[in-house]
Every structure is written in C-alpha cells, then in structure tokens.
Chains A and B, each alone.
Chain A
Amino acid sequence: MKLKIWVTVIAALVILVLGMAIGSVFVTPADSLAIIWHKLTHTAMPASIKATDVSIIWNLRLPRALLAFIVGAALSVSGAVMQSVLKNPLASSYTLGVSSGASLGASLVILCGITLPLLKMFTLPILGFAFGLGTILLSITIASRLDSSLENNTIILTGMVISLFTNAVVTLISAMSREHIQQLIYWQMGSFSLKDWNTVFILLPITLLGTLVVVHYNRELDMLTFGEEQAKSMGVNTVRVKWILLVIAAAVTGSAISFVGVIGFVDLVAPHIVRKIFGSRHRYVIPMSAVLGGAFMVACDLAARTIVPMQDLPVGAVTAIIGAPFFAYVYFSKRKGDA
C-alpha cells in the first residue's frame, strides 16, 4: 500500500512539473523547479534563466497548474463523498446537478454584477456554493420522494433532469444579454486560462479544509457505504454525518466551479480508479482521490492548451471526452453486475 501511495504521489508531482514546463514556450523542468525554488526562498535567479521564463512560470503556468490541481482535487474528493454517502457509484457533483446549480449562481454574479457586502472577493464562491448546495438539496428531496432508499438510478436521473433544467435557465439568461454570451459559453465549458494567484489563494484553503474534515470522517464514510441503517446500528449519528459531508462536498465543488466553470467527469473517474487501486477504505480513497484527481486535471489542462497550437481549448471538453465513455463503461458494467 505504501509503495502504491508513493508511486501515485510522485507521478502526480511529475505531471505537475510537466504541466508547468510544457507549453508554447518550453521551459525545462529543471529550470521550472529552479525558478520556483528561487522565488520561494527569495534568492537571486541564476543568470542562465531568462526573465521571460521566470514570468511565464511564476505568473502564468505555476498558478494555472496549481489551480488545475486544486480544482481537480476538490471535484474528486466531493465526488468520492457523494458516491459513498448516496451508495451510488455514479453519483458526482456533475450528475447530481451541483455543477449546473453553481454555474447558475456564477452566471447571475457575472451578468448582474452582484457583490456581497463585506465579502466582495468571496461573492463568486459563496454564491456558487449556495446555488450548488441548493441544487443538490433539490435533487435529493425530489429523488427521495420517488424512492426513499436513494439506492438505484432515481437520484442520477433526477440530478440529470435538474442539471438540464438549470442549464437551460443559464442559456436563457445568457441569450438575453448578448454582450456576455461569449464569456458565459466559454465559462460553461470550463477553463483555467486567465487565472492568477488570487484564485489559488481563495480555493486552496477551502479545498484543504474541506478535504481534512472529510478525511476525519473516513470511518463513518466506510460504514455509510453499507447503508444508513447499518451505519446507524454500528453507532454512527448518520443524519448529522451525512449532512456535514454533503454540505462540504457541495461547498468545495460549488466554490471551485464558480471560478473555473463547469468541468465534469473528473469527480467520477478519479474516485473510481482510486477504489480500483487502493480499495474502498476512505482513509486512502479521499486523499488519493485528491492526488489523482488533481494530477488528472493538470494533465487535461495541459492537453487543452497544447493539442491545438496557440489555442486554449476548454478543459471541460477535454475531461468530458475522456470521462463520458468512462461513465458509460461504469454504468453498463454495473448494470451487468446487477443482472
């Protein structure tokens, strides 16, 4: 187990460094690391490193790669939580409508220029979180009316319906304000371009704190995968734990999405692969989902900005191209297992 963890963590770091080195201007990984080292320790740059490279790495690629990593981690951790709490391998913020809810909140902020008093900088993540949480509550309420066990596909279907509905509202809003339409469409596909250190500094503590709280509940998550009744019988205060976990999951995704736009499927792919490699225990599933999901996102972003030269593709499209077939694979192999 230890070996697997080390291999994964080192692979993730390598991907992170490559994510900085590769681009329209190639900076060697060694130079990239040297630039970060000298910036962090406030020592003078070696003369061999060009000033433009320093600027590219420190101001553009490092924050972008870190942000991709944080968002990937945030989405994957919350995906893992939702799957376990709802006992459904297909649950994720994307399939439950958190993403589209958060995007509705964010588009209202962008279009109407709303800012919360006192919390100006946090307007976007707070509204993203509130709308994300609102949608997941709506999904779960409707689904539990239809099927109180929430164990089969009702919750996924409800989430899909709500997603489609919310997306339609976003589309309507954007259609009515043509000057923002480009911005909104691009945003709905998800992108890490034009993000700076500020976003990293807002999302990093939210994600880190959320992940730590979730890790703290790792044993409760293990037990919840056997169903609420069994967890309760073993002594878990299920109502409280379930709500804490779902709220954190929605908060972490909602705030991430509100900055970078809708990015789907990572939250489904990463935890699934982690469970295959590390087993189902959440003391491994949660941290490793963060590492793997983060690395996956950095790789997807790298692909998004390098596949077509000089053009930034929306990273949401890249993750979906990889993730959608994967979703189908999980869905159908699960159905085969049921039969």
Chain B
Amino acid sequence: MLTASGINVSYGKTQVVFDVSFEVADNENICVLGPNGCGKTTLLKAIAGILPHSGAVLIDGRDTNAMRRREVSLKIAMMSQSQGIYFSYTVYDAVMMGRYLHIKDGVFGSPSSGDRDFVADCLKSVGLLDVAKKEISQLSGGQLQRVFFARTLAQEPQIILLDEPTNHLDMKYQIELIEYLREWSRIDGHSVIGVLHDINLAMRLSENMLIMREGRTAACGRVGEDVTAKLLGDVYGVDVVGFMRESLNKWEESMS
C-alpha cells in the first residue's frame, strides 16, 4: 500500500509538482498521464525518493523520508527512461546490479547461487537470456530497455515505478510488458505506478489513473468515473476519446 499525500517538488526555485495526492492499494496499479512537461517524471522520482520533496510518501504506513536509502530501495524500484551508456557491461552483469541490496557484503560482494538464479529468471521473463553475455552497448534501444526492466525486477521490490517503459519497444513487447506487469502485480502485494504516453497501453495496465496538468492533479480515480472523456479532452487539448473511436473506425473499414 502506497500513499502519497500533498507532494510538492521543486528544482531550485521553480516548483514543478504542486500538492499531488493519490493512493495505490496492494495488488493494484495506477497510471500517471498528462501532456509533456506536466511533472509526471518528477513526481515519480519524488516517490522513489530520488528527488527531495515535501509532503509524505508512505509505504505500508512508513514515511520514506524517515527511511534509509536501502530500506526505500528494498520496497520501491524505479525504471528510468534510458539514457546514454557511457561504460558498457554485459547484459547479465547489468541485471545483476539490481541485486545490489540482496548480495551479502564481502570484499568484492560476490553474488550467491540464489542471486544468479534470480537474475537468470529475470532475463528469461524479458526474453534476453540468450544474449546474457552480450555487451549492452551493442543492443538495440528496445533490448536495452528490457535490460533495465530486468534489472528493476532483479531488485525484487514491492512497488515498481516505470517512466515510459514502452519507449523503443516493438508493439509485441509493449503488450507483453504490460501483460507481464499485470501478472506481476497480482501477487505478493505488488503494485505498479506507470507513467505512460500511450493511453491505450495505460488502459491495459490499470483503470486507475492520475491525470496531471501543469504539475497539478487534474483528476484521480477510475476511468469512466473521475476520468471522463471531457476531462481528457481538456487536459490534452484534443478530443482523445473521439480520436480513438475514429482510429478504430478507420481500422475496421480498411481491414474488413
């Protein structure tokens, strides 16, 4: 159970997120949507404890601001938008980094057989087991994105935060990823908080949505109840639902 209440985030003197509150129950997911630059990524980083914020993020009732970094990271893992690779590692080694907090501290911090098995499982889940020995600098954008997702899974968190996880992915992998997340979130009190550009994919992940506009909550709740066609139209400045219907019609006409 994650509760965010009254989150404010600023970069220096510029405030980017204003008084955002929402709640995610165990085994539930929520999508964060909104136009470019509305503060979605910033909100996500604040929840992950990466950016300083005011207001409270509670995990099962405990305030993350009062927790140590390792305690937070054992609960929440965040998969960021992939950035440039400066130094290359093998796929396997990169995913093993996600086990950081689970590996016993030795001189070198060598992984146990349990850690190795876990990483192999994560690689299998994202379909990268056969390229485990490849250097990540030689991967395609989509493969790299899946490496980062596997690394997030390797962290064994209770809550996964995703920032545009479907970027660079083929449609097949986009759908697979969302399906995987839905399965994942059904057990062990897991939850996913996802920032997604694609509203269709968002609908597949969860009917709970937090719609943001200029750093503020425009709506928070279930699609069809709190999140209406009119609201989406206002926030995005286009008739979102109308556009989807029109697209569907076009597909039906041309494919029939």
Contacts and interface: CB of A to CB of B under 8 A. Distances in A.
A216 interface: yes
B77 to A, nearest CB: 6
Contacts of B87: 83-84, 89, 225, 275, 280
Contacts of B135: 279
Nearest to B72: A235
B89 interface: yes
Given A219-B109, A234-B100, A279 B69 contact: no
B73 A235 contact: yes
Interface size class of B (residues with CB under 8 A): 20 to 34
A222 B108 CA distance: 12
A233 B100 contact: no
Given A89-B86, A219-B109, A281-B93, A233 B74 contact: no
A232 B100 contact: no
Contacts of B77: 233-234
B166 to A, nearest CB: 18
A218 interface: yes
A225 B83 CA distance: 11
Contacts of A154: none
Contact of A235 (B69, B90, B109): B69
Contacts of B93: 222, 279, 281
Contacts of A275: 87
B107 interface: yes
A321 B74 CA distance: 49
B50 A233 contact: yes
Given A219-B109, A230-B80, A236-B69, A280 B89 contact: yes
B86 A219 contact: no
A215 interface: yes
Interface in A202-233: 215-216, 218-219, 222-223, 225-227, 229-230, 232-233
A226 B152 CA distance: 13
Which of A83, A88, A215, A281 has the most CB atoms of chain B within a 10 A radius of its CB? Answer: A281
B70 interface: yes
A195 interface: no
A229 B100 contact: no
Contacts of B50: 229, 232-233
A218 B89 contact: no
A155 B135 CA distance: 28
Interface string B35-65: 0000000000100111000000000000000
Contacts of B78: 233
Nearest to B148: A230
B145 interface: no
A234 B80 contact: no
Given A236-B69, A275-B87, A229 B108 contact: no
14 contacts: A89-B86, A151-B84, A219-B103, A223-B100, A229-B50, A233-B76, A235-B155, A279-B89, A279-B90, A279-B93, A280-B88, A280-B89, A281-B89, A283-B108
Interface of A: 83-84, 87-89, 151, 215-216, 218-219, 222-223, 225-227, 229-230, 232-237, 275, 279-281, 283
Given A215-B107, A279-B88, A279-B90, 17 more contacts: A84-B87, A89-B86, A215-B108, A219-B97, A219-B100, A219-B103, A227-B83, A230-B80, A232-B50, A232-B73, A234-B98, A234-B101, A234-B151, A235-B72, A237-B68, A279-B135, A280-B87
Kindly list the 6 A-B residue pairs having the minimum CB-CB distance in the complex, ordered from nearest.
Answer: A235-B73, A280-B87, A235-B101, A225-B87, A233-B78, A235-B70
